[in-house]
Amino acid sequence: ASDGWELNLFLNEGTHTYKFIADGEWLIDPANKTLLPDGEGHFNSSISLGDTTIFTLNGFIDAKLVILTGNFNNWNTAELSMERTATGWQLPHVLPQGVCEYKFIVDGKWITDPDNKNYIGDADHRNSVKIINPNYMFTLSNFYDAKEVTLSGSFNNWSDPGYTMMRSDIGWIFPMFLTPGKYTYKFVIDGKWILDPANTLIEENEYGNGNSVLWIDPEKEYMKK
Domains of the chain from N-terminus onward: 14-131 (2.60.40.10), 134-216 (2.60.40.10)
**If pLDDT is split at 50, 70 and 90, which confidence band does 225 have?**
low
pLDDT in tens, 154-164: 999 999 999 99
- In the chain, helix, strand, coil percent, each to 5? 5, 45, 50
CB-CB neighbours of 175 under 10 Å: 17
Whether the ω angle into residue 161 lies within 30 degrees of 0, i.e. cis, is: yes
Q: Is the predicted pLDDT of residue 221 greater than 90, yes or no? A: no
pLDDT value, residue 65: 97
Cα(105)–Cα(77) distance, integer angstroms: 8
Q: Is the predicted pLDDT of residue 1 greater than 60, yes or no? A: no
DSSP state, residue 61: T
pLDDT in tens, 110-131: 999 999 999 998 877 899 999 9
pLDDT value, residue 75: 95
The dihedral through the CA atoms of 184, 118, 146, 171 has a sign that is: negative
Lowest mean pLDDT among 28-42, 89-103, 138-152: 28-42
Burial 195-214 (b: 16+ CB within 10 A, else e): bbeeeeeeeeeeeeeebbbb
Cα(140)–Cα(176) distance, integer angstroms: 14
Neighbouring-strand partners of residue 8: none
pLDDT in tens, 179-193: 999 999 999 999 999
What average pLDDT score do residues 17-30 get?
92
